Amino acid sequence: MSVLAASRRTFLRSSLQAGGWLLSLQLLPGGGLLAAEVDANDIWQSNLFVAISTDGQVRITCHRSEMGQQIRTAVAQIVCEELEADWSRVVVEQALGDPAYGDQNTDGSRSVRRNLTRLRQAGASARLLLRQAAAQQWEVPLEEVEAVGHRLAHTASDRSADYGELVAAAARLPLPEAEQLTLKPRSEWRLIGHAVASVDLDPVLAGTAIYGHDVRVPDMQVAVIARPPVLYGRIKSLDDSAALKVPGVSKVIRLPDLEAPAAFKPLGGVAVIASSTWAALRGRQALQIEWTHGDNASYDSKVYREQLLASVRAAGEITREAGDAAAALESAEQRISAEYTAPHLAQAPMETPAATARVSKDGAEIWACTQTPQSTRNVVAQTLGLQPEQVKVHVTLLGGGFGRKSKPDFSAEAAWLAREVGKPVKVIWSREDDLRNGYLHSVSAQRLEAGLDADGQVTAWLHRTAFPPIPSTFDPSADKPSDGELRLGFNDTPFDIPNLRLERGSAKAHVRIGWLRSVANVYHAFAVQSFAHELALAAGRDPKDFLLDLIGKPRHLDLTGVNYDNYGDPIETYPIDTGRLSNVIRIVAERADWSGKRKAGRHLGIAAHRSFLSYVATIVEVTLDEAGNWQIPQVHVAIDAGTVVNVEHVRAQCEGGSIYGLSCALGELTAVDGAIEQGNFDRYRVARMRQAPRAIDVHIVASEAAPAGVGEPPTPPFAPAFVNALYEAGAERVRDLPVPLQVKRRQRA
């Protein structure tokens, strides 16, 4: 069940060619193969990403999930640029989950950076075929055939034709080789790098856009699940008699107990199957369940925080070292230390997880708001004992993702239940489910120590971090920060300090740990950038100038010998360029009028951080009243993300990523007896209109460097810039998140 066969269009002449074609699309092109033929619906599927119908409509396939970053628009912009198609005649189709597309896991801020060239080639390939078709038909040299504005033209003979008119002829031509493709020079880009309105805007405003919760298939049942409140907890006893009396409830089904590792498996518990959402919710309320909580019932976040602090107060395992930090600390003129803690957070997308499954003896079909249709396919196949090829995964729009929906557990639940029920089942998660049974952003503790010389220069730096790691979700014995997480704002600390030592401490997980927008960068940037501010004040320096000095001269950071994978991309293409980090700091300071405003008594905090290969500096301005109530009148963000596809998207991500960073500073999930206490937005705080910055100024550095991440990098610097500003405004230093809505003011001397 490849995506090709699964689509309505069968256009390849043989499975042998299909195999060759799929391979070729990874590399583009597939030499020697016949491209395609026009199908019964008069559509020519030129390649995986481009189809053109005989009426000239261009259909561009987006293989990445749309969760607000406007990737569907960006993919279309890129393809359309090289295809020279008329934007008003382009529609975007969402790809099924299929390895033919390459990676589809829409996380890690990599949709553009890993696909820009490929998608340009896809557009250029279709365009070349159209030109070749015209040249053949008109019997003129290819070089004299232009393709611009959805039309093919031969000026000398005054002939022209709409793309649609050449579709049938183009479909009979062999696919071009990569070397035959000429990509447009950057100077001629009219779509890439510009603001283009979202292709999904009108359906969203009309209320007709389809998200995971909105899926409806014939004969569908709705399911909600009472999951164990404690990870690996089990059902001791169940009385479902009252639930079964609720009108509309048809079945109550016990899910299998969860065996470690949790991974992406259903958590277990009891599902209520009903003809409507309301009946399912009422039925679940009526369940009488006694749980056996198991070992994780000992988890108490207050106690655990002390354990994490104990972990970072002792020597840990060294993960990066230069010089002799211990000796340099001993001999320092001034020695400063601080400890920072951050609680568990929930991704809490506005749309909670939802998946619909239809299972037959031949396979399964899933409709889900998933960030990761391929692992959804694999996990559903595992759950049902099928081959991945037997599972078809449709990706709806996502009402936010932030990492939660890159875990396919909810689709596994729906698939398992659909088979049990013998009808299609839609599983929806309530907000309480989302907050209490999620994959939590990790709780963390960090200790930093620095030594300053008589001139206020930092000569020694010791940083220890401890947090239960994401790999614990897949292997419960994993009990220390993983290499993968330490690459996120810890091992890649960009400061130019001669004596530096980084250590990790142990931390056992008691809940499912998962990734959240920018992952460990959130708490690492919080600690490092807060501490930099503390040191600046101790040295009596301007915090911005001090930060620039800490970063030092422009250079490519050499992490030889350090476990570092540079977000999976080559360090040659994406060096850790401290000059670019310093550059965004200088730009943001200028745009914020850093010096002028500080002289005028305004309260500004600054932070800068490289993540997902992009460089972001943020200045937050706060006001603080006598009672400690804060407001954020203005935020400035400067981002260097290399080549960008849509400046409006980048601006929106910098605004939204900053506000997400604010929420990361305000939120807190706590556990008592192994269960998460907060169940809804009354106790789990996220930024609301009143807390939101009144204005966010975004500067995008004009760059021809390789494209880098955009969705995540604006988040990490926000919280430290915010708490630094609060301190400047007279608040006590916030080292332990969350930041309350009313902070304590420092006693005036």
Partner 1 sequence: MKLRVNGKEQVFDGDPQMPILWFLRDELQLTGTKYGCGQALCGACTVHLDGAAIRSCSVPMLAAADKHLTTIEGIAGDHPLKQAWRDHHVPQCGYCQSGQIMQAAHLLKEKPRPTDAEIDAAMDGNICRCGTYPRIRAAIKQAAGAGS
Q: Which is nearer to partner 1, 413 or 492 (CB)?
A: 413
- Contact 85/124 with Cβ under 8 angstroms? no
222, with CB counted inside 10 A (0-12, 13-18, 19+), is: buried
Calpha distance 371→201 (Å, rounded): 20
Residue 283 binds partner 1, judged by CB under 8 A: no
Q: Which is nearer to partner 1, 53 or 371 (CB)?
A: 371
Residue 668 binds partner 1, judged by CB under 8 A: no
Q: Which two tokens stand for residue 391?
A: 């599972």
Residue 494 Cβ vs partner 1, minimum distance, rounded to whole Å: 26
- Contact 406/105 with Cβ under 8 angstroms? yes
The residues in 519-558 that bind partner 1, with binding defined as CB under 8 A, are none
Residue 741 binds partner 1, judged by CB under 8 A: no
Phi, psi of 225 (to 5 degrees): -125, 130
Which residue matches tokens 């005989």? 54
Q: Which is nearer to partner 1, 366 or 428 (CB)?
A: 428
In the shown chain, the binding pattern of residues 644 to 663 toward partner 1, with x for contact by CB under 8 A and - for none, equals ----x---x--xxxxxx-xx
Residue 619 binds partner 1, judged by CB under 8 A: no
Q: Which is nearer to partner 1, 401 or 674 (CB)?
A: 401
Calpha distance 163→170 (Å, rounded): 10
Which residue matches tokens 């298939």? 217
Find the part of the chain contacting partner 1 (CB under 8 A) among 232-240, 258-266, 347-355, 563-571. 347-355
Q: Which is nearer to partner 1, 266 or 401 (CB)?
A: 401
The residues in 406-445 that bind partner 1, with binding defined as CB under 8 A, are 428, 430-432
Identify the CA nearest to 108 among candidates 734, 722, 711, 740. Answer: 711
Residue 694 binds partner 1, judged by CB under 8 A: yes
Q: Which is nearer to partner 1, 481 or 661 (CB)?
A: 661
Residue 588 DSSP label? H
The residues in 218-277 that bind partner 1, with binding defined as CB under 8 A, are 222, 247, 276-277
Strands 58-62 and 90-94: parallel
Calpha distance 604→667 (Å, rounded): 22
Considering only 23, 91, 672, 695, the residue that binds partner 1 (CB under 8 A) is: 695
Which residue matches tokens 């500096």? 617
Residue 683 Cβ vs partner 1, minimum distance, rounded to whole Å: 10
Considering only 326, 386, 692, 706, the residue that binds partner 1 (CB under 8 A) is: 692
Considering only 682, 704, 748, 749, the residue that binds partner 1 (CB under 8 A) is: 682
Residue 114 Cβ vs partner 1, minimum distance, rounded to whole Å: 21
Residue 69 binds partner 1, judged by CB under 8 A: yes
Residue 497 binds partner 1, judged by CB under 8 A: no
* Size, binding site for partner 1 by CB under 8 A: 66
Q: Which two tokens stand for residue 3?
A: 């995506």
Q: Per-residue DSSP letters for 153-202? A: EETTTTEEEEHHHHHHHHTTSBPPPGGG--PPPGGG-SSTTS----TTHH
Q: Per-residue DSSP letters for 16-47? A: HHHHHHHHHHHHS--TT-B---B-TTSEEE-S
Q: Cβ neighbours of residue 377 under 8 Å, at least 6 residues apart?
A: 97, 98, 366, 388, 391, 392, 393
Residue 201 binds partner 1, judged by CB under 8 A: yes
Q: Which is nearer to partner 1, 305 or 651 (CB)?
A: 651
Find the part of the chain contacting partner 1 (CB under 8 A) among 108-116, 396-404, 411-419, 444-452. 396-404
Q: Which is nearer to partner 1, 16 or 204 (CB)?
A: 204
Identify the CA nearest to 507 among candidates 331, 310, 358. Answer: 310
Binding site for partner 1 (CB under 8 A): 66-70, 195, 197-198, 200-202, 204-211, 213-214, 216, 222, 247, 276-278, 281, 348-352, 397-402, 428, 430-432, 648, 652, 655-660, 662-663, 680-682, 686-690, 692-696
